Structures are given as structure tokens and as C-alpha cells.
Amino acid sequence: MAPVSPFPFLSGEDGENQTVIQIKDLGPQHVGRWVDYHDDSGKIEVGKIKSWNDQVVFVVYRCNNEWHRFKEFTAAATNPADLTFR
């Protein structure tokens, strides 16, 4: 039997380590968390959560490999339905 996640905002419906992001459950501890963006073609892009509002998650995808400074880079407004936690 698979373990149950203690985090209600995480979902692993297919048994994989894919977790769905729900904005209403995000908190300060999620800033800097790694995410995967899944586009319609199946391409996956990796980024870090910078912030969010009630509609989108702002994710930094490129920062010249200076991830320790990700908060200083521009973030892309991303639909949370296209994101999963790493």
C-alpha cells in the first residue's frame, strides 16, 4: 500500500512522483521549490517557484545557472494546472 501524503495539496494519482499544485494550499515554504512545467507537446521545463497570486504561479525557468539568486530573475506567469512538484 502506497503511503498517504501528509500534504493535502499533493496528489499522486498515477502512482508516480507527479504532484499537482493548488494555489490555495501554497505557503511561504513553497518559495524556491522545484517544479516541472509540462507544455502541450510533452516538453518539460524545470524551474523554481518565486511567488503566486490567486490565478497563476510565477516560476523562474532560466537564471544562468545561478539558482541561489533565482529571486533576482524575472518569473513567468504559469498556469498551476501545467505544473507539478519535483
pTM for the predicted model, two decimal places: 0.77
Q: What is the pLDDT of residue 18?
A: 66
Question: What's the pLDDT score for residue 20?
Answer: 81
State the pLDDT at residue 83: 96
How is the chain split into domains, by residue range? 19-85
For the domain spanning 19-85, the CATH number is 2.30.30
**pLDDT above 50: residue 25:** yes
Do 84 and 46 form a contact (C-beta atoms < 8 A)? Answer: no
| d(C-alpha 59, C-alpha 63), whole Å | 11
Strands 44-52 and 34-38: antiparallel
Three-class SS of 20-35: ECCHHHCCHHHCCCEE
